[in-house]
Amino acid sequence: MSIRTIDDLEVAGRRVFVRVDFNVPLSDGEITDDSRIRAALPTLRALIERGAKLILASHLGRPKGKPRPELSLEPVALKLAELLSLDEVILPDDCIGDGAKKVVSDLRDGGVVLLENLRFHPGEEANDPAFARELAVLAEIYVNDAFGAAHRAHASVSALPQLMEFRAAGYLMKAELAALTRIQDDPPRPFYAVLGGAKVSDKIGVIEALMKRVDGILIGGAMANTFLAARGASLGKSLVEDDKLALARTLLQKADDAGIAIHLPRDLRVGASIEATEGRVVGIDEVGEEEMALDIGPATLRAYQEALFGAGGVFWNGPMGLFENPAFAEGTLGVARLLAESKAFTVVGGGDSVAAINQSGLADRFDHVSTGGGASLEFLEGKKMPGVEALR
């Protein structure tokens, strides 16, 4: 069954509950990156323009079912008012109950209320129907624009929409589903996956799922260390998952059987520690006993550039190295640059990968940058996402 969007609903004068993902990073009460708030603006602006009464709801951090003042959405309400050019975004101090009901009933057309952190109630993460009913009484229409939270069976994304007669996806949710569905069902060919990041074990499901539909996989980051070690390289003090070597060999064998090329690094940039201020480039068999492989080397980058030449589609997850340290960022930035310049349909997913792309300033040159790290991977693994299923 297909999913409706906000364009399919009559919203003027109606109370519209919008589940957004405002789980922004905070430091000393200040928002350090507001991109999640900005990502929801197209949906919010459209609903305001059409005269809806907006009731926004999100989680923030992990308060574990109890109110915690430092995880209040107050800084988000202030930022949102600024971004929407509103005098204020009202924030009742509880997301359910009489206070919230009162604020909602006072809403004018085009007005905006942000409910306090959903996870201040244990019912949110427990997907509790009673908690969902208390949210449901606040609104007539349900909209989910929180792709980043759609893979969790929590009350605001799962139990709640099932209680609502009218439900739809927001524009962000729609864009996420469209880009990832294309990668999943009908990727432009040849289609490659570039995979990196910290661990093979985090990504087994997605590697196996992608193996069924890619023409090749290019591996970097600490994940590559485990594959290189599985092939017999000795990598000194590098991050290697010693208990995953057999699994890595099995994955390489499966790819081989399926005729899928797996590209591994040919050279590496190594350092004395993760704080090292410079690295040196070595062959994969030349890592010193006291050294760590912290980035792919320039020969690998060139090889990956050649392998991706003429690609129709590329999905990228996971940095090619310890990009947070500028001495080991070149592999990740190099891949970002070559994908930005590529004519291929390019999709990036993963929290740290997306942070790297944003840092590179190249984000708008990708076809799609997913706001949902874990969610995008679960989608590509073919798992049913509770928040998406509930919209059908």
* Residue 148 interacting with ligand ADP (CB under 6 A): no
Q: Shortest approach of ligand ADP to residue 361 CB, angstroms?
A: 18
Segment interacting with ligand ADP (CB under 6 A) among 16-24, 90-98, 337-345, 348-356:
348-356
Q: How far apart are CA 291 and CA 189, in angstroms?
A: 39
Segment interacting with ligand ADP (CB under 6 A) among 86-94, 138-146, 159-167, 322-330:
322-330
Nearest of 233, 245, 234, 237 to residue 201 by alpha carbon: 245
Q: Shortest approach of ligand ADP to residue 264 CB, angstroms?
A: 13
Q: Quickly tell me which residue has 């949710």 as its tokens.
A: 173
User: Which residues 48-77 are close enough to bind ligand ADP by CB under 6 A?
Assistant: none
* Residue 374 interacting with Mg ion (CB under 5 A): no
| Closer residue to Mg ion in complex, CB, 307/329 | 329
Segment interacting with ligand ADP (CB under 6 A) among 28-36, 38-46, 278-286, 317-325:
317-325
* Residue 352 interacting with Mg ion (CB under 5 A): yes
Q: How far apart are CA 24 and CA 27, in angstroms?
A: 10
Asked if 299 and 266 count as a contact pair (C-beta separation under 8 A), the reply is: yes
Out of 63, 123, 161, 197, name the contact with ligand ADP by CB under 6 A.
Answer: 197
User: Which residues 245-284 are close enough to bind Mg ion by CB under 5 A?
Assistant: none
Asked if 324 and 275 count as a contact pair (C-beta separation under 8 A), the reply is: no
What is 280-298 written as a DSSP string? Answer: EEEETT---TT-EEEEE-H
* Residue 386 interacting with ligand ADP (CB under 6 A): no
Asked if 83 and 36 count as a contact pair (C-beta separation under 8 A), the reply is: no
| 236: partner contacted, choices Mg ion, ligand ADP, none (Cβ within 5-8 A by kind) | none
Q: Shortest approach of ligand ADP to residue 223 CB, angstroms?
A: 7
- Burial readout 145-160 (b: 16 or more C-beta within 10 A, e: otherwise): bbbbbbbbbbbbbbbb
Q: Which are the catalytic amino acids?
A: 36, 199, 351, 374
Q: What is the CA radius of gyration of the chain?
A: 23
- Say how many Å lie between the first and final Cα of the chain, rounded: 6
Token pair in block for residue 325: 């340290």
* Residue 351 interacting with Mg ion (CB under 5 A): yes
